[in-house]
Structure 1
């Protein structure tokens, strides 16, 4: 459930280049007293999703996600990018991407599927109580296609891409930026490649360097899996013990280790116990405020806040909205989603596009 901070830092830089106010975008995101995140650290995907939701509110450009992704530097993909860059062909690069993509992002999973005459890349969003904005998905695939163009001197553009961005009228502008046919408003993200593009050799690929980077990537993958397992175990312990009076010593005792060992391992992963506790509290707060009718004072007490004002300020700093605003916004979205819609025969026939399978 994490994203590489190198990628997220590059996204923030792109936001600044597109004239978005960084103070409004990042306020309260990195934790108390932190103005930025350490490089090559894994950051909770909730933070990235909150960042993109704020950006979508602040920007008037419907192509922001795509433009941010296309503008990301090659370094944003870190070791995964090096593996893809030194693969023998696009087909091999996509195999490496599928295995090592979680070193960059766990917001979703890209999987490769054989198709007649080629290959399909399908994207599944990681379930989370904070929705993934379609602009964030645009940025991921804008960044991926832009990166792959740098890996070969020959044309390796996909034959088609389908994205979930809702405004189908923007499809020609997407196609112009991505250099391939695009369908918008799709139910699922899908990228199609033909065999002739998949088997084009990558000039300049270094097999020896590829072997070294692959070994390093495997080491990073093992370390990340261990880190994710520890954070998951701590979050589960916090949830079961309650947030009011839980201490690091309580959690460590339940995990069968000393509190000093737990603190050290969490700090090595860039998430000290106090920050992890506060992050877990805010995740629980978001869920209770948007998925339950529990009174606000009871939510504050459940999360261990002695004063409702402390709870109010914590939620406002973390989510950019007050507890009541979060609850009201969630109710409005529920009402919109449940409202009956009259089908339009004309609009259905004019906007339905065939997505390759």
Structure 2
């Protein structure tokens, strides 16, 4: 995206989560001092569990961890993360009365954990789908980072609920040769090469009581979480626009006036504030479409005509022309080239 570098440089993550990632890595035999050095982090930055560190530094840490000689290092790191990495949010989830209440708290306070992506909830007939929209999904390091978070989600909730189970787990990347680590952690049907990272939870579990429910403690933790949330700088307008565009594209051609209304500002104000951030509505729309198109073409088998519809194009030919302008390739050539490189 036009503003991708600035978005990464401004994004921050929880120091306690970064600390926990380091603890997990050392349990897997890596040298902590070396990891800190390669990530441009210091011990002083991690002393306060409520402090923030640059997301870009954590990306460097994930880059180093991706070289672990393991079948799926992200799942190994996630399996070794304790509830502590989420600091106040982790303990708030544990003290919630029901699973549904815990999920609402997770959505409300997720920025306390980090700004490397967004967890969203989608209701289905028989299940609740939690899916993760990572910041800059095209980065190779995204795979290890998101797999770690997904494994940690399951590990945190499983002890809190009797008979906890997943209906399904979905992954953007293609199916690896060895799926036993996935089967061990998620214990449910698995789908690879999809458009999103997601876990599906049976709807009937939403009202199930949590074992460690503690209403008085929950109220105290919620007040602390609200105070921490208020201290975080507001998200940039461009980040919010991209999130809304992602939702609008699923229903056809995006509508700028509707988007402005969703943000409670006028179209003129939308245009001016995006210009102040060094981008425009059209550039964000084009970049969002391009990222989604490349993800669909590289990680799945959907026909290009169906991808065009998913991106809000009324005619496949319009999508084909736009994609050639972006990449110099047709969608078919891009897919063939990506498979050859893989």
Q: The TM-score by the shorter chain falls in which range?
A: 0.5 to 0.7
Superposed counterparts of 1:196-275, under 5 Å: 196-225=204-233
Measured after TM superposition, the shift of residue 131 of structure 1 is 5.6
User: How far apart are the structure 1 equivalents of 2:52 and 2:338?
Assistant: 45
CA distance in 2, matches of 1:137, 1:76: 15
User: Greater CA deviation, 108-117 or 19-28?
Assistant: 19-28
C-alpha separation in 2, matches of 1:122 and 1:63: 20
Q: Is 2:337 aligned against 1:341?
A: yes
* 1:21 paired to 2:17: no
Give the aligned partner of residue 178 of structure 1: 186
Residue 150 of structure 1 and its aligned partner are, at CA, apart by 2.3
Q: Is this contact kept in 2: 1:3–1:45, CA < 8 A?
A: yes
Whether the aligned pair in 1 keeps the contact of 2:38 and 2:64 (CA below 8 Å) is no
Q: Which has the larger radius of gyration?
A: 1
Residues 178-236 of structure 1 show CA distances to partners (whole Å, capped at 9, x for unaligned) of 2222223333111111122222111231112111111111111001236x78xxxxxxx
Q: Give the aligned partner of residue 146 of structure 1.
A: 155
Q: How does 1:268-307 map to 2 (within 5 A)?
A: none
Inter-partner Cα distance in structure 1 for 2:339 and 2:24: 39
Distance 1:129 1:189, change over 3 A: closer
Could you say if the C-alpha distance between residues 342 and 68 of structure 1 is closer, same or farther in structure 2, counting changes exceeding 3 Å?
closer
Post-superposition CA distance 1:284-306 (Å, at most 9, x none): xxxxxxxxxxxxxxxxxxxxxxx
User: 2:54 matched to 1:44?
Assistant: yes
Distance 2:46 2:77 in 1: 19
Q: Is the 8 A contact 2:38 2:60 kept in 1?
A: no
- Name the CA shift for 1:204/1:128 in 2 (closer, same or farther; >3 Å): closer
* Aligned with residue 110 of structure 2, among 101, 123, 130: 101
Aligned to 1:133: 142
**Contact 2:154 / 2:185 at 8 angstroms: preserved in 1?**
no
Provide the TM-score with structure 2 as the length reference: 0.62
1:191 paired residue among 199, 202, 223: 199
Cα contact 2:17–2:85 (8 A) shared by 1: yes
How much is the aligned-residue C-alpha RMSD, in angstroms?
2.8
Equivalent residue number for residue 252 of structure 2:
none
Q: How far apart, CA to CA, are the structure 2 residues paired with 1:78 and 1:35?
A: 17
**Structure 1 residue 111 displacement after superposition:** 0.8
Cα deviations by residue, 1:222-276 (Å, 9 ceiling, x for unpaired) = 01236x78xxxxxxxxxxxxxxxxxxxxxxxxxxxxxxxxxxxxxxxxxxxxxxx
Q: 1:87–1:164: structure 2 CA closer, same or farther, 3 Å change rule?
A: same
Count residues with an aligned counterpart: 234
- 1:56 matched to 2:30? The reply is no
Mapped contact 1:165–1:186 kept (Cα < 8 A): yes
Indicate the SS of the match to 1:113: strand
